[in-house]
A and B are shown apart, each in its own frame.
Chain A
């Protein structure tokens, strides 16, 4: 569970950062006539998004999420900045209650 949370968070941040670079650096450069950044970062984001999908999916199963939050979580990796917002929301709304509900937490729960 904690490993799944960590994997999801790491991928959410990496994918989010790469997507921001793609949208706010790559696309303007492409419009300006330098498509190299958008091409490379675009492919990189495509690959990272697949990994993000897998991580988010595994976590959503462990949290027993309903369809709607799961879809929001999975699609967040395609919308700039969304990964960060959704990661915070998922943490507060689902991850913390789920970790608190675990009978024997590996570490003391934060106050």
Chain B
């Protein structure tokens, strides 16, 4: 519903040449996230409502949770909006319009994605020393990624 999609994705994506960037929002994976967010949002509001009814029927403890659950629901919406906004930024920061042709991107550690996103537009970052340093950081992070393997954390 209101949190399922950003207000105006098309308007955001319009300047990107070579195809609308917002397309990723209708990929099955993202649609799954949208659905999950809608369920979570309404679920948390429902929990808040339930606590409110408990509170007015005499359970003083429930007052705290009456306000807490809507707060969490609101936080979920903020989280969701920010996640989509960041994804737009990352997709645009890399070669705009060629996001689909970079399938390995999601496998990279986020820090690499961030570094790549930060150095994406070459016209803004022509300093070879900085580029080399960023490439070094990206490689370093790619190595660090595997350190988590034996601790049961692979993401």
Bound together, the chains give a CA A74 to CA B140 distance in angstroms of: 26
Beta-carbon nearest neighbor of A64 in chain B: B114
In the complex, chain B residues whose CB is within 8 Å of the CB of A101: 111, 115, 137
The number of chain A residues with a CB under 8 A from chain B is 27
Q: Are A43 and B141 touching (Cβ within 8 A)?
A: no
Given the known interface contacts A39-B61, A93-B153, the answer about A64 and B148 at a Cβ–Cβ threshold of 8 Å is no
Instruction: Give chain B's interface secondary structure class.
Output: helix
Q: Are A97 and B140 touching (Cβ within 8 A)?
A: yes
Bound together, the chains give a CA A100 to CA B65 distance in angstroms of: 40
Bound together, the chains give a CA A97 to CA B146 distance in angstroms of: 13
In the complex, chain B residues whose CB is within 8 Å of the CB of A80: none
Per-residue CB contact flags for chain A residues 42-56 toward chain B (1 = under 8 Å, else 0) read 110011001001000
Q: Are B83 and A67 touching (Cβ within 8 A)?
A: yes
- Pick from A42, A68, A101 the residue with the most CB of B within 10 Å: A101
In the complex, chain B residues whose CB is within 8 Å of the CB of A70: 79, 83
Q: Are B111 and A97 touching (Cβ within 8 A)?
A: yes
- Contact among A46, A66, A92 with B110 in the assembled complex (CB-CB below 8 Å): A66
Please give 12 more A-B residue pairs, beta carbons under 8 A apart, in addition to A93-B145, A97-B137, A98-B111: A39-B61, A42-B61, A43-B61, A43-B64, A46-B68, A47-B64, A50-B71, A53-B75, A64-B86, A67-B33, A93-B148, A94-B110
